[in-house]
Amino acid sequence: MPRRTENASKRRLAPEFGERRRKSQSLNAEIALLVKALHELAAIRSTAEQAAGRILASAEGLMVDAATGVATRAETEKMAIAIMTACGFHDLVGQRATKIAETLDQIIGARLKRVDRSRKKAGAERQKRKAALMLTGPGLPTGSPDQARIDALFADA
């Protein structure tokens, strides 16, 4: 292929490759944000679990105080039950955080599959273009020669 034609092809394809590069960078940035969101959700869940643990421990302490007679048993039990009931938020927050994390995992997975398909397609297109540009030697570019025809040609000689 003459040098001029090759340079013209590169100039013609440059905007397309630039656009692909920008899309890839944008996609990478989006995936990074989604991963960051997953980490934030994990931190929320962890914090909620720790808070619930502290509340439950306090409630159990109140129950012990009631048993030893520090406070009236009815007052202490009432406060303990209120604290334990308040811990119900933990289950709801945990369930919601889990659903959000699963959704984000699905989004990331779908995006990664699209990137893989896009890269495979681009690779196949590159290979196809490379094969089309490959020199076929001194013969005519009619495709690869048929070995049986070549053998028959030399057999007649």
pLDDT above 80: residue 148: no
Q: What is the pLDDT of residue 113?
A: 85
Binning pLDDT at 50, 70 and 90, where does residue 138 land? low
Ordered by start, the domain boundaries in the chain are 12-133
Binning pLDDT at 50, 70 and 90, where does residue 4 land? low
Secondary structure in 3-state letters for 100-118:
HHHHHHHHHHHHHHHHHHH
Q: What is the pLDDT of residue 27?
A: 77
Question: Global pTM?
Answer: 0.43
The pLDDT tens digits for 62-118 are: 777 777 777 777 777 777 787 877 777 777 777 878 888 888 888 888 888 888 888
Average pLDDT, the chain: 75
